[in-house]
Amino acid sequence: MKIAIFGLGYVGCVSAGCLSQKGHTIYGVDVDTNKVNLVNSGKATIIEDGLDELIAEGVKIGNITATTDAEWAVLNSDVGIICVGTPNTANGHLNMEYITKISEQIAVALKKKEEFYTITIRSTVMPGTNLEICNLISSISNKENDKGFAVVSNPEFLREGNAIVDFFNPPYTVVGSTSPKGIEKTKEMFSFLDAPVKVVGVEVAEMIKFLNNSFHALKVAFANEIGRLCKSLNVDSHELMDLFIGDTQLNISHRYLKPGLSYGGSCLPKDLRALNILAHDKYVSIPVLKSVAQSNITHNNYIFDLISAKKVHKIGIVGLSFKENTDDLRFSPSLELCENLVGKGYAIKIYDQNINLSRLVGKNKDFLFSHLPHINVLLINEVDDFLQDCDLIVFAQRSNHVLEQLDRIKKDTIILDLVNIDKLKAFENYEGLCW
């Protein structure tokens, strides 16, 4: 197929690389010329293992082209995939500005297009969005749903750092639409996947991402509360949780159920907050989910208090992105910790092998510099330089580059481990976060 992908951020760029590998022709669309130029030069817009290679190969063989011209992309494609961002507004709702703008541009282009056009929404949107977009496109294009076009809700289930594997190995493909034609076209587009197709109600398809991510956020906060309690009781929290997750009949999954660093990133905080706002708007009380974000803040404060109690001044932080193998800095607990430490007058330096300031673009870059404007001074590129002259080293990630040079750490340096790294436990001044 010829597929237009609107939005070349995380989901869009991964989708472009993976769909191109399966022989589809991809037209990537973005308002950010930096992202367009990166893709056209054969480079991914984000850090994701294996994605640079997919994009480079797709561009080389002519399967991937990026542009700022949405109309051109619509007129030259069979399917459009909306992957633009839906960040929280100041009051917690999802900002639908980018969804609305691109839908209007698609609708205008459809006036000139005779062929049936399928639009799939992969962005996280509130229930009811599919219908709103259908009505918007119909009113502008003067075409009828299921006759001239279709709008299909097709949420993605990608974990940053593992997105390519997740793309090709989803638990299922979720499809929701009032258009049978659109459903069949979406099935055809993903026919290479060895996964069941779940055709569900449109609102169910729109809601599943909130349910998944809010539950994931709940699991992280729950495990960390148990971890803090276990530490106060001198109980091995990881041994306890190993026992807990051994029950696969009732406890379902081991994912996110190990005490450690707070949750962050672009999905869990945003979707949890939006779900709480949705319940508030509907006068539905959900006290457990309402308390999850506060629990995460409490956990962040707990980490800061652990550091403050050490009575040291020079601190090294291993890992700045919200988790390993990504350069996503949005709502990173490590970044928030660094910001707080700088604000309190600590001398810090940061090592993260995945953060290259020259490659950061868009909101990811803006988020970093708005919280750490002097990051170019704090970020250390060489492990040797980073390990020198630290009173305390905080491991917010497992970094092989650092772990391979542990012998360079001074004997009296304090180690605070936020991710449970066995190799660190031999240090005399080692302390685990919740173990």
Catalytic residues: 267
State in Å, rounded, how far the first CA of the chain is from the last one.
52
Burial of residue 420, with CB atoms counted within 10 A of its CB: 0-12 exposed, 13-18 middle, 19 or more buried: buried
Burial of residue 377, with CB atoms counted within 10 A of its CB: 0-12 exposed, 13-18 middle, 19 or more buried: exposed
The helix/strand/coil state of 32 is coil
How far, in Å, CA of 137 to CA of 139, rounded? 6
- 371, 426, 421: which is closest to 395 by C-alpha? 421
Q: Which residues contact 259 (CB under 8 A, 6 or more apart)?
A: 223, 224, 226, 227, 228, 230, 237, 238, 241, 420, 433, 434, 435
Q: Which residues contact 247 (CB under 8 A, 6 or more apart)?
A: none
How far, in Å, CA of 258 to CA of 239, rounded? 10
Burial of residue 221, with CB atoms counted within 10 A of its CB: 0-12 exposed, 13-18 middle, 19 or more buried: buried
Burial of residue 311, with CB atoms counted within 10 A of its CB: 0-12 exposed, 13-18 middle, 19 or more buried: exposed
The helix/strand/coil state of 413 is coil
> Hey, CA dihedral for 244, 246, 252, 255, is it positive or negative?
positive
- 384, 385, 375, 363: which is closest to 335 by C-alpha? 375
The helix/strand/coil state of 393 is strand
How far, in Å, CA of 126 to CA of 95, rounded? 10
DSSP secondary structure string for all residues of 299-349: HHHHHHHHHHTT--SEEEEE--SSSTT----TT-HHHHHHHHHHHTT-EEE
